[in-house]
Amino acid sequence: MMPFGRKRSDLEVSLAEGLAERRPELQLEDGSRVAVVGGGPAGSFFAYFLLRMAATLDLKLQVEIYEPRFFTHGGPAGCNHCGGIVSESLVQLLATEGLNLPPEVVQRGIDSYMLHTDVGSVRIEPPLQEKRIAALYRGNGPRNAEPLSVHGFDRYLQDRAAGEGATIQRKLVTEIDWEGDRPTLVCATGERESFDLVAVATGINSHLLDRVADARPSYKPPAASKTFICEFQLGQETIEKCLGPSMHVFLLDLPRLEFAALIPKGDFVTMALLGDEIDEALVEGFLSAPEVRACFPEERVPATVCHCFPRINVRAAQRPFADRMVVIGDGGVARLYKDGIGSAYRTAKAAARTAVYQGISAQSFQAHFWPACRAIDVDNQLGRIVFTVSGLIQKFRLTRRALIRMVWSEQMRAGGPRRMSGVMWDVFTGSAPYREILVRTLHPAFLAGLLWNLLAANVPRRPRRATRRQP
Amino acid sequence: MSARGLGKVYRDGEEIVRQNEVGDCMFVIQEGQVEVLSELDDDEFRLGLLGPGDFFGEMAIVEKQARAATVRAVGEARVLTVDKRTFLRRVQEDPTLALNILRTLCQRIRALDTEIAELRDELSEGPT
């Protein structure tokens, strides 16, 4: 026993943690039962990678995904309330993992962004003109989408997980309980099942996160903010004419609005508004902006076919793990305003890696899963600075003019660095970490370029006979 | 070819990478087929035919060397480019990301071993 009052040395601490990590009862072994609560991207990614990694060790696991939805109906019944964008970096990473998104799942390949402000619009194209952003439906598409046989992303991932050996249980989990040291799932039917490991992938909009916090008080659910997502049915031809293969983003001086986008998808357009507690007044204000109306046929915004106010994760959960339990996806940590599916992939894979190669104790998750979550959380702190600066640019007409001018002149040039375009591209697509974006904005050449464009775009000039056309 | 897919569509016979050029990306085939060709003394030898899910150009990710072969589309092919930077940045956090590529490299080495053995066998038998 440790003498009273003596602090344990670092060596003692690591030995104790090492021993705890290697406790044989807290390792997965042949025949271990693993439950995944929620068959969205986090749950299916977890099951898929867990089984693939287990196969590298010849470990035979029994993995069950609890998901009551079939994803065969359009509208709310099969919907996961998400903008449905797979970022440029995630599309590439999934392809190297052997998860190539099939054309029937991708509703539209996006190759560029159209940035709209009240002082002009400009198209941002990456140097490599290639469709590397996927606009898709998580569920089976919005209301009225049934006749169009939409194949949802969640269904695709579930099928891939099932292909690796996972079983899909079409049951609704209502409680997560503990019997001894084993987590137990209680279903709506009253059935109770104990497991060696439970991965909670319910998303942030589920009450089950509160049940987890009740059972394991060290877990604190994440902070959330309300967003707005809706769908317009315009038909492919109209969408091609009005929006093309670009995602349309808006920098408008509307308080509480951090990000707004129109995303073309097959016969529909998804509108996503992110920010601080989006409400109906803000939605109305956004839809009445001339820059938004100009994206619709005859500048008239049609009625929505469905809409929702889902919540998104804006601050990480505390200790999203315990012995034999790990919380992945939105219920744990997610990237601020961007790349929610990418966060699901990163946290699910880190959890699977830990469970297979390290163990399923709280100490194992703390040492090997939490660093991946922490990296996202730390990057989000820097993301807040990026969005504060972006908010300032949104607020002033002078800065909006400078931004549009700088992006426009970079896009017109055949070569040379595209500093502002690159920053905007990465802010909109969520492809690069916020730390990297912030570092690039502090580069002297970026700041000099911004200053020059601030002057050039706002200093009144004497009229000339042949003037350059402004963007 | 579906208009919905990801990546870039290459026409029949269009070159995707050229032998001896330095590259900084690899490619994953989404739809269609490509042929891998080695150019030697003005002659071209087909080294292989690749299809959906296969990748090529992966050596550029790990070493800064010229491309070892030319790759052309056979019919229309949709191919996704994977940037070296994106891949290496993630592999620092998640080394298992490289497993799929390692697996393919192992398969290619095994195929080459078989081919070398067959060639040696043919040579040792001599002309008939």
Cα–Cα distance measured from residue A449 to residue A400, given in angstroms and rounded to the nearest whole number? 14
For helices A434-441 and A370-395, angle between their N-to-C axes, nearest 10 degrees: 40
Question: Which chain A residue lies closest to B9 (C-alpha atoms)?
Answer: A130
Q: What is the pLDDT of residue A391?
A: 86
Q: Residue A102: its chain B contacts at CB < 8 A?
A: 5
Please report the domains of chain A, with CATH numbers, ordered by start residue. 25-71+154-223+314-381 (3.50.50.60), 107-140+225-312 (3.30.9), 390-458 (no CATH)
- How many domains in chain B? 1
If you count residue pairs, one on A and one on B, with CB atoms under 8 Å apart, how many are there?
83
Contact A337, A382 (CB under 8 A): no
Q: What is the pLDDT of residue A139?
A: 77
Through-space distance between the first and last CA atoms of chain A, rounded to whole angstroms:
74
Q: Residue B111 domain-assigned?
A: yes
User: Which residues does residue A34 pair with via DSSP β-bridges, in sequence order?
Assistant: A63, A197
Question: Which chain B residue lies closest to A50 (C-alpha atoms)?
Answer: B96
Q: Would you call B86 an interface residue with chain A, using a CB distance cutoff of 8 Å?
A: yes
Cα–Cα distance measured from residue A313 to residue A202, given in angstroms and rounded to the nearest whole number? 13
Domain containing residue B79: CATH number: 2.60.120.10
Q: How far is B94 from chain A (nearest CA, A)?
A: 8
Mutate which: A49, A87, A100, vs B, most B CBs within 10 A: A100
Cα–Cα distance measured from residue A127 to residue A469, given in angstroms and rounded to the nearest whole number? 23
> Which residues of chain A have a Cβ shorter than 8 Å from any chain B Cβ?
53, 56, 88-89, 91-93, 95-98, 100-104, 106-109, 128-132, 134, 266, 346, 349-350, 353, 372, 375, 431
Residue that the structure tokens 């194992």 belong to: A364
The ipTM (two decimal places) reads 0.90
Question: Which chain B residue lies closest to A245 (C-alpha atoms)?
Answer: B4
Mutate which: B2, B4, B92, B100, vs A, most A CBs within 10 A: B4
Mean pLDDT of A257-281: 90
Q: What is the 3-state secondary structure (H, E, C) of A47-79?
A: HHHHHHHHHHCCCCCEEEEECCCCCCCCHHHHC
Q: Would you call B7 an interface residue with chain A, using a CB distance cutoff of 8 Å?
A: yes
Q: Residue B105 domain-assigned?
A: yes
**B4·A132 Cβ contact <8 A:** no
Contact A93, B26 (CB under 8 A): no
Q: Residue B100 domain-assigned?
A: yes
Tokens of A126: 């990456």
Q: Residue B3 domain-assigned?
A: no
Q: Residue B79 domain-assigned?
A: yes
Q: Using one digit for the tens of pLDDT, what is the confidence trace for A22-80?
A: 565 699 999 999 999 999 999 999 999 999 999 999 999 999 999 988 766 666 666 76
Q: Is A471 a residue whose pLDDT tops 90?
A: no
Q: What is the pLDDT of residue A21?
A: 52
Q: What is the pLDDT of residue A196?
A: 97
- Which of the 8 DSSP states describes residue A2? P
Q: Residue B1 domain-assigned?
A: no
- Which of the 8 DSSP states describes residue B1? -
Position A155, amino acid: R
Helix locations, chain B, DSSP H: 59-62, 84-93, 99-125
Residue A380's SS3 state is: helix
- For chain B, the helix, strand and coil percentages under 3-state DSSP, each to the nearest 5: 35, 40, 25
**B6·A266 Cβ contact <8 A:** no
Residue A224's SS3 state is: strand
Beta strand ranges found along A141-208 (DSSP E): 167-169, 173-179, 182-187, 192-194, 197-200
Q: How far is A148 from chain B (nearest CA, A)?
A: 14
Burial of A189 (0-12, 13-18, 19+ CB in 10 A): exposed
Which among A89, A97, A131 has the least Cβ separation from residue B86?
Answer: A89
Residue A310's SS3 state is: coil
Q: Using one digit for the tens of pLDDT, what is the confidence trace for A422-446?
A: 999 998 888 889 999 999 999 999 9
Residue A1's SS3 state is: coil
**A134·B30 Cβ contact <8 A:** no
Q: What is the pLDDT of residue A5?
A: 41
Q: Is A3 a residue whose pLDDT tops 60?
A: no
Radius of gyration of chain B (CA): 16
Q: What is the pTM of this model?
A: 0.89
User: Which residues does residue A192 pair with via DSSP β-bridges, in sequence order?
Assistant: A186
Average pLDDT, chain A: 88
User: Which residues does residue A110 pair with via DSSP β-bridges, in sequence order?
Assistant: A133
Q: How far is A19 from chain B (nearest CA, A)?
A: 24
Which domain, by its residues, includes B85? Answer: 8-125
The β-bridge relationship of strands B15-17 and B70-83 is antiparallel
Q: Using one digit for the tens of pLDDT, what is the confidence trace for A137-147?
A: 887 777 666 55
**A131·B2 Cβ contact <8 A:** no
Residues near A330 by beta carbon (within 8 Å), at least 6 away in sequence: A42, A203, A204, A222, A312, A313, A340, A343, A344
